[in-house]
Copies of this chain bind each other. A is one copy, B any other.
Amino acid sequence: MSTHSLLIDGAWRTSVGTATFQAINPATSAAIPGSYPVSPWSEIEQAIGAAARAAAVVRSWPGERFARFLERYADRIEKRSAEFVTLANQETALPVEPRLAKAELPRTISQLRQAGTAAREGSWRRPIIDTTANLRSQFEPIGPVVVFGPNNFPFAFNGIAGGDFAAAVAAGNPVIAKGHSSHPGTTRLFAEEAHHAAGETEMPAGFVQLVYRTAHADGEKLVSHPLIGATGYTGARETGLVLKRAADQVGKPIYLELSSINPVFVLPGALAERGEALADEFSGSCLMGTGQFCTNPGLVFVVAGAPADAFIQLVRQKFESAPVGTLLSGGVLKHLDQGITALRNAGAEVLTGGQAGGGAGVSYRNTLLRVSGERFLAGSKALQTEAFGNSSLIVVARDAEQLVQMLDALEGNLTGAIYSAQDGRDDALYERIAPGLRQRVGRLLNDKMPTGVAVSPAMNHGGPFPATGHPGFTAVGIPTALSRFSMLCCYDGVRASRLPLTLANKNPTGRLWRLIDGAWTQADVG
């Protein structure tokens, strides 16, 4: 059986490692032909060296160069769409339509193009010029970026094609992608196109590189290597925290998107007013993509009473009647089962589901759990265990007072939603819930479920720990997402001929916004 090559230092190379792995089709549990190498440290080191050399070459390039690469890459992916969708479907069991073909791949292509536009436009640099002191500063590339892609978005968060990749490149950095082991073939296809696009747009060898897998200890060495600028990681909390510790020890920025259970507060007036519609909306959001979204609503707060009982009853029926989707992998199934077991052990009652099976291939029954407000407050840490997949926990607070108390027990999350009545009867309670929830989440929603993550400059896909490692950064939303992969660079008395173009007296594009002597302007200096 053939083992696929790695993309290292501008060429497809046979791995020097001996260990290999195969992708598994979760719909059939069968191995997909072709194996992928586990890279030993020597190979990772080679990639790091090549990335550092590439970084030195491109560091002062204008954004136009990175835009051209990103746009060419996007075009190439688009031309090969059918192949991407077919292979990703095999590797992940995510539906071809609408998910892969109509939603995720177009989104991925659009992200790359948006990143290209941002690179060309340059405002992510936030140039500031003080002509009196002759001080000029801007954000510049941070150096080679390592991107660890997750299992649940084979396209949009792929290590070599997704949001982190696009942001890192747009900010002028080479990327070493670590593909996720559950969809190595899809990742390989991306790397092929990235490699072609890099050649066509004359990017240096080592600008885009791909390794499929490496030992955990080598991952730690990678993110903390002196030549690495920063790391983007989306995935499981435990692995992420190990990488974080390694990177933190040597002061290397690492941006993590870890677990999030996305609390939803359904206030009593909303439940009374439109409980049935909300049950529909919630079930749809929770079971979409078999619940395998970072923004899946995994924790719902309601206040005890007849409307809450009716809501729970309706959701339960919907969970029971909805088809059970196929999970991404046996690993996801195992973690989901462990998560649900942890919730049960902490006192949550299973209303429906709670066991494997029910769908095609790797699957777990749609699972709804319930716990009282008292119990939640008494064991809030365990009851916030993530059960990643088609599962959610409903917390029934005794009264509005207890609902407000829940806030203090909440961990950091990507999102937090509040549903309130249209007629204003929940407004006073909203005002007691919203400020505390606001401080604990990156995105606050009103009257909608968190699962849609629009790729918009105004999006924040981030939030306080443990949802991410730092609440000041977002993984989605261009140009803000670029900040993660940049460093602040000041030029003090640097001679005019030596300044970067974006800090020169003349505005390089005539359209770049710069803060000159205290005023934002697109004009030249002087």
Q: Interface residues, chain A, CB within 8 Å of chain B?
A: 56, 59-60, 123, 126, 128-130, 132-133, 135-137, 139-140, 142-143, 244-245, 248-253, 412, 415, 430, 434-436, 438-439, 442-448, 450, 454, 456-460, 462, 464-466, 468-474, 477, 480, 483-484, 486-495, 498, 513, 515, 518, 520
Contact = CB atoms under 8 A, between A and B. Distances in A.
Contacts of A253: 470-472
A465 B225 CA distance: 12
Nearest to A492: B445
Contact of A251 (B59, B252, B464, B486): B464
28 contacts: A60-B435, A128-B457, A128-B458, A130-B457, A130-B459, A137-B458, A137-B480, A140-B438, A142-B472, A143-B439, A244-B248, A251-B412, A251-B468, A415-B492, A434-B498, A442-B487, A442-B488, A442-B490, A444-B491, A444-B492, A446-B492, A446-B493, A446-B498, A458-B490, A459-B490, A460-B489, A474-B488, A480-B488
Q: Which 9 A-B pairs have the closest CB atoms?
A: A251-B465, A460-B490, A471-B487, A135-B458, A130-B458, A443-B490, A248-B248, A128-B458, A130-B456
Contacts of A495: 446-447
A404 to B, nearest CB: 12
A489 B413 CA distance: 12
B444 A494 contact: yes
Nearest to A434: B498
Contact of A458 (B129, B244, B472): B129
Contacts of A457: 128, 130, 515, 518
A115 to B, nearest CB: 14
Given A136-B458, A137-B459, A140-B438, 5 more contacts: A137-B460, A137-B477, A139-B472, A250-B465, A445-B493
Nearest to A484: B472
Nearest to A414: B490
B487 A472 contact: yes
Contacts of A245: 248-249
A137 to B, nearest CB: 5
Contact of A448 (B472, B474, B477, B493): B493
B439 A59 contact: yes
Contacts of A477: 128, 137
Contacts of A442: 487-490
Contacts of A458: 128-130, 133, 135-137, 490, 515
Among A59, A249, A454, A460, find the residue whose CB has the most chain B CB atoms closer than 10 A. Answer: A460
A137 B136 CA distance: 27
A489 B253 CA distance: 21
B492 A135 contact: no
